[in-house]
Amino acid sequence: MAQHSAAHMRYAGRLTGRVSKWVVVAFWVAILAVAGGYAGKLSSAQNNEASSWLPASAESTKALDKLSAFRDPNAVPTVVVYERSSGLTPQDLSAASAQASRLQALQGVQGKVIGPIPSADHKAMQTIVTFNLGKDGWNKMPDIVTQIRAVAPSGDGLSVHVAGAGGQAADSADAFAGLDSTLLFATAGVVILILLVTYRSPILWLLPVISAGVALTTAQGVIYLAATHFGLTVNGQSQGILTVLVFGAGTDYALLLVARYREELRRHEDRHEAMAFALHRAAPAILASGATVILGMLCLLLASMNSTAGLGPVAAIGIAVGLLVMVTLLPALLVVCGRWVFWPSRPSLGSVEPTSTGLWARVGRRIGRAPRRVWVVTSVLLALACIGLFNLNANGLTTQQSYTKTFDSVVGEQVLAAHGLADQSNPVLVVADGGQGAAVARALGGVTGLGQVSEPVTKGGVSFVSAALASDATSSKAFDTVRDARVAVHAVPGAHALVGGTSAIVLDTREASSHDNKLVLPAVLLVVLVILMLLLRAVVAPLILVATVVLSFGAALGLSALLFRHVFGFPGADPSLPLFVFVFLVALGIDYNIFLMTRVREEAATRGTREGSLVALAATGGVITSAGAVLAATFLVLGTLPLVAFVEIGVAVALGVLLDTLVVRSVLVTAINLDLGGVIWWPSRLARQPVGSTVSRQQRTEDLTGASRG
């Protein structure tokens, strides 16, 4: 055993030797120089079109393949909406007609501008213009909308809004505008603040932040190459989550390593030797934690939604790169800098380890007085918090409900609905076998919620029919209309009709997300359980840990649902919310249990499980709490973007992480360990091994030291 540990220790020491540390630093500087150029292009590789997220099996996806003969997939229909609450004047109609001519002259306009079309109450009107700016035309819509507003100015009581797919694309770009700057700076800011409080050093925080920055840049460069050459789906959501995930998880690994390094500096005079010991003891927990997150994220590949499946590799790459940086570059930087980087609290040889008498040591002693009562009461309280899940309405959000501020395209849609104008830019689109176009059109004519049905057009043996929606394309009424339309056209004999369009795409997206929740969640749990069994070489402890994390997830989502409804006033949540929160909390939340339980196992070999649990809590309590605070704060930064889905993910994950670190890991798991004792290690020998029968910690240290010197 000592020889095996000595071999691992020698390997750890090679990364931070007197010469090798400079090689490691030079290597990452070279990687950063190469990756930096690609990282800056990641936003240009995003694909935020809902149609690209769908599974191939969805009806709207199948319809898209046949619709290409009738509608250019690069066409972006845009609606200019006019409103005068007192009623449109002849001058308004004349001005809108003149503006339509000017809109026709804008670059990229496809076909003829339609309108203006006045409403029945004569208080609003709409003009429809379609742009075709090529494959990446959606990303160019903000500039186009600016030109539209210059051509169709409002004033003198007449309001003008840009809605439809073009207006929504422009507003979506505005919502994600902070992705590259605001989100990154806010994330770095909260990490720096928490590290300053944690380390109480004006210098030490720099090294984890520099390492996290290197990890993020490198990961972004790798993901850009994967998106451009291997078809990886990257969107605004996955890129935003990547930023907070790399900073949050990477800083967590840094906190654990630095804490263990500081411990070893009190035991070893040579800092290179201290880092070798720190890496040897901390790396297994860090690597197991990273592997858990990586494999948990890769479980998202099982999802039918391309956007969800794409997030898996994006997050896994981010974690893998962050893990690699934190166990190579960060140790090298720490050894290069020396003990002075901890100033003003430099850990000197032989100084007392403060965690032995700190807050978490006192908490452990109090739990030890009645551990069974503590874990039973804690479990009941968490179970009660799960009741809040009945308030979670994860059935999707309309366009209006998706933002935390009012965007112009949303106002335009509201004006159209208020004055009975169907949104001509988002119709229901139906394709069928060529000989059944007329029959399909008649079937659509009987569907409530649809406007006038177009005349069938037939090309290449396929008929195309469309009908405008009378409601917002992302509303529940529109989805009901799509379902009714599908029932009607599917009943036409021999038509093989398919219903597509924006509403059909969003509806299929929500149904696919609901399916993915049922498939991916069990897979993540199974992966986490297997990793814990391999790491802890036990069955009972992993089952307990997984159960506590699931309980924590239920409590976090239940409390979040109450906050969303009664504090934030959100009417609902995206169907993917439970899946994302579950994956992040189980994969990331189990980290803290891994950090704790690997230390418990280490201490249990010489002290027994009960005493080892108290020592482990005292030693890891502070660093795990700091790590949880960092991760929670970084996810809360998602709330800086004006998107309800981001705010909800950030709040739910942050709340769950805090529950994990402050309640589940520190109180619940420790109380169970103290109550059950060595039983948690069943069926390993440690469950039957009496205290004191193994080699002492001092002897193991001497063996390893001798091996390293040899």
- Where do the DSSP E strands lie in 72-176? 75-83, 109-118, 124-132, 159-163
In whole angstroms, what is the distance from residue 458 CA to residue 554 CA?
52
Amino acid at 301: L
Give, for 462, the enclosing helix (H) or strand (E). Answer: strand 462-469
CATH of domain 422-507: 3.30.70.260
User: Is the model's pLDDT at 10 over the cut of 60?
Assistant: no
Domain 74-175, CATH: 3.30.70.100
Mean pLDDT of 572-588: 81
| 475 pLDDT above the threshold of 50 | yes
Higher confidence at residue 118 or residue 266? 118
Q: How confident is residue 387, by pLDDT bands cut at 50, 70 and 90?
A: very high
What tokens appear for 128 in the block?
């429809």
User: Which pLDDT score is estimated for 50?
Assistant: 55
Amino acid 178: pLDDT: 58
Distances from the Cα of 321 to the Cα of 186, 218, 220, 313, angstroms? 21, 7, 10, 12
* Average pLDDT of the residues in 297-315: 84
CA distances from 194 to 205, 206, 257, 342, 443 (A): 9, 12, 16, 16, 62
* Higher pLDDT among residues 54 and 91, named by residue: 91
Say whether domain 1-39+178-352 belongs to CATH 1.20.1640.10.
yes
| Average pLDDT value over all residues in the chain | 82
Integer Cα distance of 46 and 239 in angstroms: 8
Give the CA-trace dihedral at 149, 152, 155, 161, to 10 degrees: -60
- pLDDT in the model for residue 324: 92
SS3 235: coil
CATH assignment, 354-391+537-710: 1.20.1640
Q: Is 661 left (phi over 0), alpha (psi -120 to 50) or beta?
A: alpha
- Tell me what pLDDT residue 704 has: 36
In 3-state terms, the chain is what percent helix, strand and coil (to 5)?
70, 10, 25
Number of other residues whose CB lies within 10 A of the CB of residue 468: 18
Query: Cα dist. 344→299, 351, 603 in Å?
Result: 45, 14, 30
- Range in 226-230, 415-419, 616-620, 698-702 with the lowest mean pLDDT: 698-702
Instruction: Among 177-181, 445-449, 513-517, 689-693, name the most confident range.
Output: 445-449
- CA dist., res. 322 & res. 330, Å (int): 10
The lowest-confidence range among 218-222, 339-343, 692-696 is: 692-696
Read off the pLDDT band of 698 (50, 70, 90): very low
Which pLDDT score, from 0 to 100, does residue 180 have?
Answer: 61
What DSSP state is assigned to residue 641?
A: S
253 pLDDT exceeds 60?
yes
Output 622 or 27, whichever has higher pLDDT.
27
Q: What integer is the mean pLDDT of 116-132?
A: 90
pLDDT in tens, 630-655: 888 888 887 777 888 888 988 998 99
pLDDT tens column, 312-354: 899 899 999 999 999 899 999 988 888 888 887 777 776 666 6
Residue 355 has pLDDT above 70, yes or no: no
| pLDDT for res 423 | 65
CA distance 654 to 667: 18
Contact present, 702 and 277 (Cβ < 8 Å): no
Instruction: Give the range among 178-182, 496-500, 578-582, 688-692 with minimum mean pLDDT.
Output: 688-692
Where in 485-567 does DSSP place strands (E)? 498-500
CB half-sphere exposure, 350, CA atoms < 13 A: 0
214 pLDDT higher than 90: yes
Tokens linked to 487: 């029932």
Contacts of 685 by beta carbon, 8 Å cutoff, 6+ apart: none
Angle formed at CA 327 by CA 537 and CA 634, multiple of 5 degrees: 95
pLDDT band at 42 (very low <50, low <70, confident <90, very high): confident
pLDDT band at 709 (very low <50, low <70, confident <90, very high): very low
- What is the pLDDT, as a whole number, of residue 689? 62
Is residue 69 over pLDDT 70? yes
Q: With bands split at pLDDT 50, 70 and 90, how would you rate the model's confidence at 383?
A: very high
What residues does each domain of the chain span?
1-39+178-352, 74-175, 354-391+537-710, 422-507
Q: How confident is the model at residue 379 (pLDDT cuts 50, 70, 90)?
A: very high
Three-state SS at 423: strand
CB 385 within 8 A of CB 558: yes
Residue 7 has pLDDT above 80, yes or no: no
CA distance to 575, 634, 654, per residue, from 403 (Å): 16, 20, 20
For residue 481, pLDDT beyond 70: yes
| List of residues 6+ apart from 450 with CB closer than 8 A | 428, 444, 467, 468, 469, 470, 481, 485
Q: Give just the sign of the alpha carbon dihedral 124, 129, 130, 132.
A: negative
**Strand 498-500 to strand 462-469: parallel, antiparallel, or no bridges (unpaired)?**
unpaired
Helices within 200-299 (DSSP H only): 206-229, 236-265, 271-298
Percent of all residues in the chain with a pLDDT value above 90, rounded to a whole number: 14
**How remote is the C-alpha of 194 from its chain's centroid?**
21
**Best mean pLDDT range from 50-59, 458-467, 639-648:** 458-467
More confident residue, 34 or 356: 34
pLDDT higher than 70, residue 52:
no
Residue with tokens 């112009």: 408
Statement: residue 16 has pLDDT above 90: no
Answer whether residue 29 shows pLDDT above 90. Answer: yes
Contacts of 95 (CB under 8 A, 6+ apart): none
For 534-567, the pLDDT digits (tens) are 888 889 989 998 888 889 999 999 999 999 988 8
Q: How many CB atoms are closer than 10 A to CB 460?
A: 8
Question: Contact, 398 vs 474, CB < 8 A?
Answer: yes
pLDDT at 562: 92
Output the pLDDT for position 46. Answer: 67
Q: What is the pLDDT of residue 270?
A: 82
Region 374-403: mean pLDDT is 86
- Quick check: do 74-175 and 422-507 share a fold? yes
- pLDDT tier at 402 (50, 70, 90 boundaries)? confident
Per-residue pLDDT at 25 exceeds 80: yes
698: which 2 tokens? 């001092």
Return the pLDDT at 318: 92
CA–CA separation, 111 and 682 (whole Å): 73
Over range 191-206, report the average pLDDT.
82
What is the predicted pLDDT for the residue at 412? 87
Check whether 693 has a pLDDT greater than 50.
no
The pLDDT score that the predictor gives to residue 588 is: 73
Residue 30 — very low, low, confident or very high, per pLDDT cuts 50/70/90? very high
Higher pLDDT, 30 or 360: 30
Q: Give the range among 73-82, 443-452, 530-539, 634-643 with minimum mean pLDDT.
A: 634-643
pLDDT on residue 661: 86
More confident of the two residues 433 and 623:
433
pLDDT at 320: 93
Distance from C-alpha of 649 to C-alpha of 639, rounded to nearest angstrom: 9
